[in-house]
Each structure stands twice: as structure tokens, then as C-alpha cells.
Chain A
Amino acid sequence: MPHTLKNLIPFGKAALAGLLLLVAGIGVVVYLFGVDHLLSPSHIALIAVFGVIYIGWTVILYWVLAASRHKDEARWREINREVTDLTHDTRQLFQELSEEYNSQFQLAQDELHRVRDILSDAIGKLINSFTSMESQNRNQQQISLRLTSRQPHPEQAPAAGENEEDEDNAAPPQQPSDVSFEKFVGETSETLSMFVESTIETSKSAMRLVEIMDSVSAEVEDILNILGEIESISKQTNLLALNAAIEAARAGEAGRGFAVVADEVRDLSTRSNQFSDQIRNHMTSVHQAVASAESEINALASRDMNFALRSKTRVQEMMDNIQTLNQEMEVSVEELKRIGEQVEQDVGTAVTSLQFQDLTSQLINHIDQRIGAMQSIMSSIATIGDLKEGEDYEEASIECHQHLKQFKQAIVEATTLIEKVRHNPVAQEQMTAGDIELF
């Protein structure tokens, strides 16, 4: 519709309204004062004046309206320009915003995917690591148990049945690890006892020997005494024989036979003395032999017992040390066992916790979807400011409405998508220690 015609419409309405009022006024006057009054020159003059006033008013009205209209138009043109500029700027802003957001969303998505990959990789490695740790832990437990119960290492055990035919070897087959300190100390103690017993038995026999030696010595004494008697008898005999010889000489010829006998007796006693001497010599040898035997027996029988005392003390100390060692070992085993169980538990917790990958995968997917939704919203935002350049204000606003509608539509779609995500929550809120499945 042409610009000037648009101006005339409000003016036309006002003019018409004024005319109607005038006519209504005249009608009222005629009614009140009758038609006759109306046609008198004063009244016609009055009507003429009213008519002039009315026309004047109409003209003034027209001018006022035109002027204001003109001012409004200028103002609207300015506003239109401003709006266009603003729209243009907004469009640019939205475009920039959209680009920036999109690029950020893209980066976020890329990073998200990287996170997912890193997680997957790391978790795989962690689970393997923990599985290995678990089996190493179990190995350690078994080894420490074996150590303390002194069972042989499976690789070192001899083949079974090797010694079955050997009757002398009725004891269980010797294992390399069967050499325990306790056994060794026990054997040492036994050996010591045996040695002590042997020593004492030897001494006992030796002392008995000494007593025998003593009795031999006593016999020798007696023999020597008897020898003494024999020697004195011999001496007497000699003297008597001498006397007899003298008496025989005094008797002369009659005593000649007697003198011979006396001489023989003297010979006999001399021979007796010689034998006596020989016996004496033998007895002296015997005495010496007995004496040397006694000193030998002395060496044999006299064993200082301190060696035994020292050895026994040493053995006792050893036993005490072994006892302490065993106790410490028991404590250590208990400790090891406890630690082993603790490690098992910790590894279990770790592996269970690693199953959070499931949770995080879902969460990452949700984030992914949210980002996608927002990206589409952002794209729509970019098109809002898409106005053709230099467009008419009305046409531009219609197009704006359409864009806003599209924008709204986009938001609705995005919301639906997000709702879907919200109603499909991640299975668990947190990890709890339950059965572990190593996958």
C-alpha cells in the first residue's frame, strides 16, 4: 500500500467522525429549537461559523497528523536500521557462537573418545596386572607354608618306591631338606651322652684295674716279706752249718763224715740265697711293672669332665635358640598368612573397582549424546540470524518467527533425546565388593 494512502486512512476516519459530530450537533439544535429557528440569519451565521471552525479543525488535524506521521516514519526508519544492524550483528554473533560451540563440542567429543580408549586400555592392563599379582601371591603363600612345615620342594622329592625293597631303610626316604637344626642338635646331644658314658665306663674299669694292681702289689709285698724270712732262715742255716763244721773238726776223724754234711748244708743255704736273690729281682721287676701300669691307668682313667659340661651348655643354648627361632618363624608365618589374605582381599577390591569401566562407558556415551543434541541446537541457533540483507521489516520479522519456530523445534527434539538418555540410567550408582569375575 503506498505510503501517502496509509497516512490518509487515520485522517479520513477522524474527519468523518468530526463531520458526524457536526451533523449531530445541528440535528440537536434543530430538534431543540425547531426548524424555523434554524433558518434565521443569526442561526445560519452560527452554522456557518461552526462550519468554518470545523473545516479549520480538519485542516489543523490533517497537518498535525501528517507531521507526527512523518516524525514517526523517520523514527521507524531509524529503528528499522538499528534493528537490521542489530540483527546482522546478532547473526554474526550467533554464527561465531555456533562455530565456537561446535568446535568446542567437537573437541570435547574427541577428548571423550580418547578418554574412553585410554580407560579401556588402562583397565585391561590393570586387570591383567592384578590377575598376575593374585597368582604370585598364592604362590608365595604356598612357598612360605612349605618352608615352615618343612615339606620338600616338589622338584626335589625323590621318586617314590625307590627304597621299598630295602629293609634296612625302614625310615622314610631322606629328603634333602630333612636336615633340620633340631635333629642335628639332638644327635649332638646324644653323641655327647654316649661319649660321657663311654668315658665313665672306661674310668670305672680302670679303677678296678687299679685295685687289682694294688692287690698284686700287696702280694708282692707279702712275697718280699716271706723272702726276708727265707733269707734269715738261710742265714741261720749257714751259721748252724758253720757251727757244725767246727764241732766236726773238734771231733777229729769220727766227725769227718759230719763235716762233709755240714759243708753240703752250707752249699744248700748259699744256693737258697741265690734263688732268693733271683726271686727278689723278679719281684722288683714285677713291682716296677705294676707301678708303670698304674701310671698308665692314671692317664687312662683321669678325664677332666669340663669338656662335657661345656658341650652340654652349648647344646642347651642351641636348643633355646632353635626354640626362639621356631617361635619367631611361627609368628612370621602367621603374619605372612595374614598379609597374603589381605593382599588377596585388596586385589579383589581393585579388580571389582576396575569394573567401573562398564559404568563409565555408559556415562561417556550419555555425554556423547548430550553433546550431539547440543550441537544440533547450536546449528539451529546459527540460522536464527539468517536474514536476507536489506529486507523489509515485516518480511524480516516473519522470517524471524519461522527461524524461532525451527529453533524451538530443535530444542524439543534435543530435549526428547536427552529425556531418553535420562530414562535409561547407568546400571549402578557405585561399585560394591561382590563376586569378582576376572575377564
Chain B
Amino acid sequence: MTLNVTVAINEGIAHISLDGRFDFNSQRAFRSSYDGPLNDHEIHSIEVDMKAVDYLDSSALGMLLLLKERVEAANKSLVLANCRGTVKQVLDVANFHKLFTIR
């Protein structure tokens, strides 16, 4: 029931891959995954790979919004990648396509 978070850094882009159920209990894992890249001057972009996410609720959306806030404060860019199926539907209904770059 927990979310597995892996971070890979490649040419100034931090790829954060999420696997599993993205909800309230993922808060610490998610936060700690992007804290480092945010403060790293070498990194100019953060990409969150949602391919393996099978469920996300409003808390996940809230966390993504917090991430966006902080990425913008650090003058970096943020991309949500590989959004499919229910994940994409939820992002659409929340109008996230207007707020995020979604691939």
C-alpha cells in the first residue's frame, strides 16, 4: 500500500519515478525525493513519471500542487510524464492540464 519512489538524475533532469498507490501515506517518501533536487543548482528540471501509479486521490493532487509551488520558487521546470488511464482522467477533471506540463 506504500508508494515506491526512485530518483534518477540525468543531464540536469531529475527523474522521479512513482510506483504504487499515491495517497496520504506517500507524503514523506515523495517529499524527501524532491527535496534534494530542488536545492541542487545542477538540476534545472524535475520530471515525475506516473507510469506505474495505479491510484491517486486528492492528497496526491495536493502534494503535486505543493511541488509545483516549490519548483517555481526555485526557478526550475516541472513535467508530469506518462499519464494514462484513470490517472490522466483524474488530472483532467482537476484541470491540471492548465497548471502543469503533462506528457
- Residues of chain A having any CB pair with chain B under 8 Å: 193, 196-197, 199-208, 210-211, 214, 298, 301-305, 308-309, 312
Majority DSSP secondary structure for residues of A touching B:
helix
Counting chain B CB atoms within 10 Å of each CB, the highest count among A210, A214, A298, A303 belongs to: A210
Q: Is B59 in contact with A206, judged by CB distance below 8 angstroms?
A: yes
- Interface range on chain B (Cβ under 8 Å from partner): 20 to 34
- Residues of chain B having any CB pair with chain A under 8 Å: 23-24, 27-28, 31, 56-59, 61-63, 65-66, 86, 89-90, 93-95
Closest to B23 in A: A302
Set A193, A301, A309: member contacting B58, Cβ < 8 A: A301
Known: A197-B95, A301-B24. A208 touches B61 (CB 8 A): no
Closest to B25 in A: A298
Q: Is B94 in contact with A305, judged by CB distance below 8 angstroms?
A: yes
Q: Is B56 in contact with A203, judged by CB distance below 8 angstroms?
A: no
Query: Considering the chains assembled together, what is the distance between the CA atoms of A196 and B31 in angstroms?
Result: 23
Q: Is B65 in contact with A309, judged by CB distance below 8 angstroms?
A: no
Set A196, A197, A210, A304: member contacting B27, Cβ < 8 A: A210
CB neighbours (8 Å) of B56 from chain A are 305
CB neighbours (8 Å) of B59 from chain A are 203, 206-207, 298, 301-303
Min C-beta distance of A201 to chain B, whole Å = 8
CB neighbours (8 Å) of B93 from chain A are 196, 305, 308-309, 312
Known: A208-B66, A305-B94, A309-B90. A200 touches B27 (CB 8 A): no
Known: A208-B66, A305-B56. A298 touches B94 (CB 8 A): no
Query: Considering the chains assembled together, what is the distance between the CA atoms of A302 and B63 in angstroms?
Result: 11
Min C-beta distance of B76 to chain A, whole Å = 19
Min C-beta distance of A135 to chain B, whole Å = 54
CB neighbours (8 Å) of B90 from chain A are 305, 308-309
Set A196, A201, A303: member contacting B95, Cβ < 8 A: A196
CB neighbours (8 Å) of A309 from chain B are 86, 89-90, 93
Min C-beta distance of A327 to chain B, whole Å = 27
Closest to B30 in A: A207
Closest to A205 in B: B62
CB neighbours (8 Å) of A302 from chain B are 23-24, 57-59
A and B contact pairs by CB, cutoff 8 A, 22 listed: A196-B93, A200-B94, A202-B58, A203-B58, A203-B59, A204-B66, A207-B62, A207-B63, A207-B66, A208-B66, A210-B24, A210-B27, A211-B27, A301-B24, A301-B62, A302-B24, A302-B57, A303-B57, A303-B58, A305-B90, A305-B93, A312-B93
